Structure 1
Amino acid sequence: MTDAKALTRTERVADGDTRFRRHGSGGTALVFVHGFLDDQYVWDGVIDAMTAPGFEYVQLDLAGSGDRTSSRGPFDLTRFARDVGAVVEALDKSVVLVAQSMGTLVAELVAVDHGDRVRGLVLLSPVPLAGVHLPNETAEQFRSLGGNAEAQRAVRRQLSVSLPEAELDRLVAVGERIPAPVVRDLVTCWNEGDPRGNNASPYRGPVLVGRGAEDGFVTDEVITARVLPRFQWAATFAVDKAGHWAHVEAPAVVAARVETFLSTLPFDRPETAPGQGGSGWRNAFAGKTADDFAAAFAADIVLEASVLAIPVEGREKVKATMTQASKIYESLAFVREAAQGAMTYLEWEATAFGGMQIYGVTVLTKGGDGRINHVAIHHRPLGAALRFSLEMRERLAGTVDSSHFHTAE
């Protein structure tokens, strides 16, 4: 690890057997949650590749895995989420949860229960929270992996592309030590899932979803159909020449993606008013309600955009316009932010209309009271912008005059 992370201390949650390791220091902690048959050290490569200042790195083993193979049950999602949640509370700071495979189910449940602390979720090769629901014969093959090193090696080879041989050996040794009854319980966790996964996620914060491009278990179809629709705002990425363990196969690539995501998050920065910087705008998009937008806007706000033929003026009309606009996006991620004086620049990526990619830059100008009094939104490509304008014209009929929008002609 780098010098900034070299100092490691191990702490224990009060009244429990959950221990966690802390590296470095910062106002926000990245809490890493491992997957099926793995341990906390599976994240070492990613952590070592990260260079963003101001973050602490936290690792722990789930009960029954790693250094906790002697833990008593139950070994289920409720227990795992309680243990990780206890670590989050013990840290007593904002956190971002970074998880892989089975660990993503745990991370989402923790985010729901500790939403006041969780600033973002990174879900790598995410298993749907509702479970995979493999046929019993197939699931039994996974249940029988306990203590069978050769079978575990075969599964890891099948689901990876460029897993280094030394890492493969280490992971097989880690998985082999997990007691066979625990392995069976772990399969139940990710195969049956949690019934809350059948509905939209109560977690409303930013989410980054990634996968190895050649992962044969968590496919692009699984993510598109069963993961992304559950989150309000989610950005995605794929790692080329990687499978189910992209964080081990290409740790530097995963680290870079995580750091880009971190640069977009609204961490605990002091604000003099609800609309200062980009936080009020991002929070309004997360809420998608008129009241959320109204909290960030000045009374005399002016909205200009490439989807508008003429500007929209005044808080009531602008908040109605932005509320409807936010509901058109299927996903939206703020990927970069910069500020100069009273102006904030937000670069974003979104999808709408069944997966159509839309890119843009939003320029916010705030007045002396800290509220946003001018917004300029630039969309691309042109075809997407025109379609967006037509949709807005229809949705806002009777609220905002149609002359503000482009026409089909």
Structure 2
Amino acid sequence: MEEHRVRSGGVDLAVYVAGKGPPVLMVHGFPDDHEVWKEQISALVAAGYQVIAPDTRGCGQSTIASTVSDYHIQLLIGDMIAVLDHFGLERASLVAHDWGAMIAWRLVITHPDRFERYAALSVGHPAALSAGGKMQMLKSYYIFLFQYRRLGEWMLRGLNWRRVRRMYKSREDAKQAVARLSRPGYLTAGINYYRANMRVFGQRNVPNCKNMPVLGIASDKDPYISDQALRETARFVDGTYRFEIVHGAGHWLQRDAPEAVNALLLDFLGATAPD
């Protein structure tokens, strides 16, 4: 992959590009970087797509922003628009997971003219997520704990990063996550996404997604997000909405079940948009 540097909102974003063809922007979540998509990148490039995979601010090889407010959702949205503009792309397809999907939902709502279609992994429309009920509140307990300075860092770093290591099924994925977060400042940068956007998680008056097909992919072993939010997302999409569930996969379904996720993405990206 070719690495590019994109300046946006006071930070330098590392952006990785591979392949030629219709562009697909892929946005990772916490505590990942663009490498979480490596199985999907190879499949999409082989199928004739161009993949654009940024490390979001404070992650991977992108630079760390200095304050909590530097991670507000509006700045994160602006980063992705800056990436499209850097490559001269008027429109692209969009694939996102976890925090990347939180950003991506607002991208397609506020900039519908920039995206052909959107595949959301694990995270549903913001209004559906906030209406997820008691089950989602229980699964999201860590978000509230992250609001306390140093507590979130202690939770994840403690006992030789045990909580982080338990997030992933693959030992190699866990090892890489610990290595990323162990770099000075990067753990706090990741947690600052939650601190800067606490109000975002409770918003219900978020507009519907318009003018594009949307695919929601959930997994039935996700300990952090209930699949109910993606099921309910149909009510908040004015265009066509397709829901799929990947069985036997955890929160990182693109890593746990890459063949199933790749098949769904390729089918969705290659589908003809309805008139």
TM category, shorter: 0.7 to 0.9
Query: 1:77 corresponds to which residue?
Result: 73
Between structures 1 and 2, the one with greater strand share: 1
Alpha carbons of structure 1 residues 253 and 128: separation in structure 2 relative to 1, 3 Å: same
Q: CA deviation at 1:236?
A: 1.2
- Aligned-residue Cα RMSD (Å) equals 2.9
Q: Is contact 1:153–1:172 with CA below 8 Å preserved after alignment?
A: no
Which of residues 252, 258, 263 in structure 2 aligns to 1:251? Answer: 258
Mapped partners of 2:98, 2:265: distance in 1: 16
Query: 1:315 corresponds to which residue?
Result: none
Q: CA deviation at 1:96?
A: 0.9
Q: Deviations over 1:25-45 (max 9, x none)?
A: 11x211111112211211112
Letter in 1 for 2:248: K
Unpaired stretches in structure 2, ≥5 consecutive residues: 131-135
Query: 1:174 corresponds to which residue?
Result: 180
Between structures 1 and 2, the one with greater helix share: 2
Which of residues 92, 100, 103 in structure 1 aligns to 2:88? Answer: 92
Q: Is contact 1:64–1:72 with CA below 8 Å preserved after alignment?
A: no
Q: Is contact 2:29–2:97 with CA below 8 Å preserved after alignment?
A: yes
Q: How does 1:316-331 map to 2 (within 5 A)?
A: none
Q: Is contact 1:108–1:203 with CA below 8 Å preserved after alignment?
A: no
Which of residues 38, 43, 51 in structure 1 aligns to 2:37? Answer: 43
Is residue 238 of structure 1 aligned with residue 252 of structure 2? Answer: no
Alignment size in residue pairs: 257
Mapped partners of 2:54, 2:79: distance in 1: 10
Structure 2 residue matching 1:32: 3-state secondary structure: strand
Unpaired stretches in structure 1, ≥5 consecutive residues: 1-6, 267-281, 284-409
Letter in 2 for 1:86: A
Mapped partners of 1:126, 1:264: distance in 2: 22
Query: 1:261 corresponds to which residue?
Result: 268
Q: Deviations over 1:215-246 (max 9, x none)?
A: 13222223223x33211221111112101000
Which of residues 8, 23, 32 in structure 1 aligns to 2:26? Answer: 32
Q: Is contact 1:101–1:126 with CA below 8 Å preserved after alignment?
A: yes
Query: 1:354 corresponds to which residue?
Result: none
Letter in 1 for 2:163: A
Q: Deviations over 1:146-183 (max 9, x none)?
A: 363357542563x55xx221112112322343545434
Q: Is contact 1:49–1:252 with CA below 8 Å preserved after alignment?
A: no
Mapped partners of 1:255, 1:120: distance in 2: 16
Letter in 1 for 2:105: E
Is residue 62 of structure 1 aligned with residue 27 of structure 2? Answer: no
Mapped partners of 1:249, 1:185: distance in 2: 27
Q: Is contact 1:69–1:179 with CA below 8 Å preserved after alignment?
A: no
Is residue 228 of structure 1 aligned with residue 234 of structure 2? Answer: yes
Q: CA deviation at 1:127?
A: 5.1
Mapped partners of 1:153, 1:203: distance in 2: 41
Over alpha carbons, which structure has the higher Rg? 1
Higher RCO (C-alpha under 8 Å, 6+ residues apart)? 2
Mapped partners of 1:69, 1:173: distance in 2: 16
Q: Is contact 2:64–2:189 with CA below 8 Å preserved after alignment?
A: no
Alpha carbons of structure 1 residues 106 and 15: separation in structure 2 relative to 1, 3 Å: closer
Alpha carbons of structure 1 residues 149 and 244: separation in structure 2 relative to 1, 3 Å: same
TM-score relative to the length of structure 2 = 0.80
Q: Is contact 2:9–2:75 with CA below 8 Å preserved after alignment?
A: no
Mapped partners of 1:85, 1:54: distance in 2: 23
Q: CA deviation at 1:8?
A: 2.2
Mapped partners of 2:141, 2:112: distance in 1: 38
Q: CA deviation at 1:120?
A: 0.6
Query: 2:104 corresponds to which residue?
Result: 107
Q: How does 1:333-344 map to 2 (within 5 A)?
A: none
Q: CA deviation at 1:142?
A: 4.0
Which of residues 143, 146, 149 in structure 1 aligns to 2:153? Answer: 146
Q: CA deviation at 1:58?
A: 0.7
Alpha carbons of structure 1 residues 243 and 156: separation in structure 2 relative to 1, 3 Å: farther
Q: Deviations over 1:18-61 (max 9, x none)?
A: 331111111x2111111122112111122123355431111111
Alpha carbons of structure 1 residues 70 and 138: separation in structure 2 relative to 1, 3 Å: closer
Q: Is contact 1:8–1:24 with CA below 8 Å preserved after alignment?
A: no
Letter in 1 for 2:189: V
Mapped partners of 2:8, 2:143: distance in 1: 36
Is residue 217 of structure 1 aligned with residue 221 of structure 2? Answer: no
